[in-house]
Structure 1
Amino acid sequence: MAMTHHDFTPTQDANLIFRVSQFYYLEARLLDERHFRGWLELLDPKIEYAVASRHVPQPDPKVNGTHELISVEKEIELRGPHASPLRLEGFAQLQIRANRHYKISARSECPAERTCRVIANIEVQKLNEEECLTHSNFVLYYSHHRDNNHIYTGSRRDRLLIIGDTFKIVAREVIPSWDVVTAPTMALIF
């Protein structure tokens, strides 16, 4: 999908922004309440789900004094010959991950992990009558039995199909805020 901020023109359509926001709040609630099969219903079967890795690029003196020197896009490794995304999955992999939660053998410890997702700063760009691009930020609180609590933050760039009054997620790029992963897992659904 490779959507950058300078390519993004947010809509002023309050109704569309409200509908997308409600869709994301539903998604967060389904995941936090562990309704993983319900979450799968929000996905298009052709979904591309990617979690980028981040690095600290070497400063390029040729771009000194320009935004390109400090551009977030230079830190993101998602696609290309030298990229090393943390996750790059389609519907089949997400379905396996979601359904795994319903097996008793999936739990090494009880209780299951506890999460709380906060989705904010939602911006929407309507491409046409059938799809839109979105940009949002997330905070994901994660707690697991006898482990420390962890907070994940970052942004998401989605492409949504407009299906009547609802949506399907057809592409998601997750951009973590971290350049060094210090939490016990990146196998969460953002």
Structure 2
Amino acid sequence: MAETMTLIRPPVEAAVSAAAVTPELQFRIEQFLYLEAALLDERQFRQWLDLVADDISYVLMTNTLAQTRDRRKGQQPPTTYIFNESKYQLERRIARLETGMAWSEEPASRTRHFVSNVRVLELVGDEVVVSCNYLVHRAAKHRDHHDFIGTRRDRLRRVETPAGWELVRRDLELDQFVLTAPNISIIL
């Protein structure tokens, strides 16, 4: 199993000091995240896949509710994966969307990806760990509109490409506890 980043929502003090994150670095990271969102919204999935590292781990786990008394004891309900994908699995999902035979994407969903509250949490060599909030609005059929809102933690690696970064790991957490959408056929 792939390495696990332990906290999706790190405490505020866990962020890298503001002095270590230059405005230029912050800008470059945000521009990469905005490019990624635009490619997904424009259904340019192959170009998005080019931004993904070969050793990607792309994870969405269930969100759980824990009673205050259980949290104090350090007890958490078990979490399970909604998806835990590698680059091969992401490529297969994109290939399926390209066939026009994916019933959940006929007609194709329109999406809008929003990214905010981007914080650099860790700087290690050519890699950065970034925390941000996201909202993905999906509109498919006449009455099939869903919002996916949550927080995520991304590990980015600096590379010599026009984008400047590649996505190495993404851990997503949904704010909702019950998934009301019939499927998650889009890329969050």
State the TM bucket, normalised to the shorter chain. 0.7 to 0.9
CA RMSD of aligned residues (A): 2.3
In structure 2, relative to structure 1, the CA distance for the partners of 1:39 and 1:137 (3 Å cut) is same
Name the stretch that deviates more: 82-91 or 33-42: 82-91
- Whole-Å separation in 1 of the counterparts to 2:181 and 2:70: 34
Question: SS of 1:141's equivalent?
Answer: strand
Q: Please state if 1:37 is matched with 2:46.
A: yes
Alignment of 1:1-190 (within 5 A): 1-4=4-7, 5-6=10-11, 8-10=14-16, 11=18, 12-60=21-69, 63=72, 74=76, 82-107=78-103, 110-164=106-160, 166-190=164-188
What code does the residue aligned with 2:142 have? R
Closer/same/farther in 2, CA of residues 139 and 180 from structure 1, 3 Å limit: same
Aligned residues: 177
1:54 match: secondary structure: coil
Question: Structure 1: which 5+ residue stretches go unaligned?
Answer: 76-81
1:13, CA displacement in angstroms? 1.6
Letter in 2 for 1:2: M
- How much has 1:63 moved relative to structure 2? 2.5
SS at match of 2:28: helix
Unmatched tracts of structure 2, length 5 or more: none
Q: Secondary structure at the match of 1:29?
A: helix
Deviation at 1:57, TM superposition (A): 1.5
Equivalent residue letter for 2:165: F
Identity %, equivalent residues: 30
Gap change, CA 1:23 and 1:61, over 3 Å in 2: closer
